[in-house]
Amino acid sequence: MRSSQFFLPTLKETPAEAQIASHRLMLRAGMIRQTSAGIYAWLPLGWKVLRKISQIVREEQDAAGAQELLMPTIQSAELWRQSGRYDDYGKEMLRITDRHDRELLYGPTNEEMITDIFKTFVRSYKDLPKNLYHIQWKFRDEIRPRFGVMRGREFLMKDNYSFDLDAEGAKLSYRKMFLAYLRTFARMGLKAIPMRADTGPIGGDLSHEFIILAETGESGVFCHKDWLNLDVLQNPPEAGSDLKDFFAKYTSIYAATDEKHDPATCEVPEDQLVSARGIEVGHIFYFGTKYSKPMGAVVAGPDGEPVAVEMGSYGIGVSRLMGAIIESSHDENGIIWPDAVAPFHVGLINLKADDAACASLCDDLYAKLNAAGVETLYDDRNERPGAKFADMDLIGLPWQLTVGPRGLKAGVVELKRRATGEKRELSVEAALAELIKA
């Protein structure tokens, strides 16, 4: 993409309404635009990142055996009356009346709808287990939306739902998601700590939140300091394992949210206990028959007797993840994207766009990078070098490749790694080889 054509409205000033780094930087980098309180349009740069984050989530769900579908945003109130949650949910639920005076709502989550779909089609234990997910916009009418996409009203969530014949199967489904979540966040360059958590309005008695430690986090959390240096995927379980050892290992090191942490009973010595703030990016629940019983999600068991299925649900805040990644990875000049979710891999900067030799080399590099499948943003604008460098640091692409008249004479270009700031002068060929391999 050429910057001269790209719709990338970066801002020089810091917007006054933004209180935390990720919100400030997403606005300044031209990634989002608020259209109503807590509701955002995703501009091209932001949308590119959101799609990459979604794709990683999707791949790890697929790898764990979950199947993707898509449920609609608008649901009927009737479904929620069946589970008993319609009145419980309060003002956070956006309630709607259609032209025929039917009561609808904008889904804040999908336990009821998926249970209804499941029970319509699945009748036998032979069709279990099933694990179904979607990545869909949700709405929660927060009383005070804030922190940009971290606590928006319309937000993108991956939610899935597992159905098993018995508790043993349901707990295996839970452990599979536990592992899938650790893998998902690790691929995005995030360390997410699974913490024992309250189940809230979803229900059930086994639940973990996945928390990114960050000063700007909204949740108070506690964990053993061993978590700080732990590589959660250093010893991945073997394929086909029942994941019991894996799960036991990672749940044996203390980590709990505010609500679950009790100083009176916590056995971690004070000097080894970390009290911190964190951002919740995922939450998993095992809640047994809480929905299957009232809604009649029953299958015929091996002996022909009806069995209410054992369920769990699993959520990842896909749009919130973007904020969490930026909170974890930025400096005073802007965002530092982990390679896996960067909107482009390389920023190609022509320091003198009106110089024929510079333009010719840049055009050639741009064509070669594209041909090799390396996503490149090519700053071909007629701007001062300072403005170009500042924009490129702000939007945080992993690599910057700079071509200027002086280097050109010496036969070199400059390659900068955004994360470290390290700069090297290289021949054109060496720079290309490095970017295509990286």
Pairing of strands 412-417, 74-76: unpaired
- 42, 210, 250, 399: which one binds its own copies (CB under 8 A): 42
Tokens of 121: 């089609």
Q: How far is the CB of 157 from its own copies (least distance, A)?
A: 14
Is residue 40 near its own copies by the rule CB under 8 A? yes
What number of chain residues touch its own copies (CB under 8 A)? 53
First-to-last alpha carbon distance for the chain, in angstroms, is 19
Is residue 12 near its own copies by the rule CB under 8 A? no
Q: Which stretch binds its own copies (CB under 8 A): 62-70, 172-180, 198-206, 236-244?
A: 62-70
Spatial separation of the C-alpha atoms in residues 108 and 74, rounded to whole Å? 10
Helix (H), strand (E) at residue 273: strand 273-288
**CA 225 to each of CA 217, 266, 276: distance values in angstroms, whole numbers, following the listed order:** 18, 14, 11
Tokens of 293: 């019983």
Is residue 85 near its own copies by the rule CB under 8 A? no
Q: How far is the CB of 109 from its own copies (least distance, A)?
A: 15
Q: How far is the CB of 257 from its own copies (least distance, A)?
A: 26
Which amino acid, one-letter code, is at 362? C
- 18, 27, 113, 432: which one binds its own copies (CB under 8 A): 113
Is residue 177 near its own copies by the rule CB under 8 A? no
Is residue 265 near its own copies by the rule CB under 8 A? no
Look up tokens 């980098």; give the residue: 29
Q: How far is the CB of 302 from its own copies (least distance, A)?
A: 15
Pairing of strands 67-68, 130-139: parallel
In sign, the C-alpha dihedral spanning 116, 120, 121, 122 is: positive
Q: How far is the CB of 98 from its own copies (least distance, A)?
A: 5
Is residue 5 near its own copies by the rule CB under 8 A? yes
Region 124-163 residues binding its own copies, contact defined as CB under 8 A = 130, 132, 137, 139, 141, 143, 153-154
Q: Given its phi and psi angles, is residue 65 left (phi above 0), alpha (psi -120 to 50 degrees) or beta?
A: left
Angle at 422 between CA 417 and CA 423, to 5 degrees: 90
Is residue 229 near its own copies by the rule CB under 8 A? no
- Name the E strands within 118-249: 130-139, 154-164, 192-196, 206-213, 219-224
Q: How far is the CB of 149 from its own copies (least distance, A)?
A: 11
Q: How far is the CB of 216 from its own copies (least distance, A)?
A: 24
Is residue 169 near its own copies by the rule CB under 8 A? no
Is residue 69 near its own copies by the rule CB under 8 A? yes
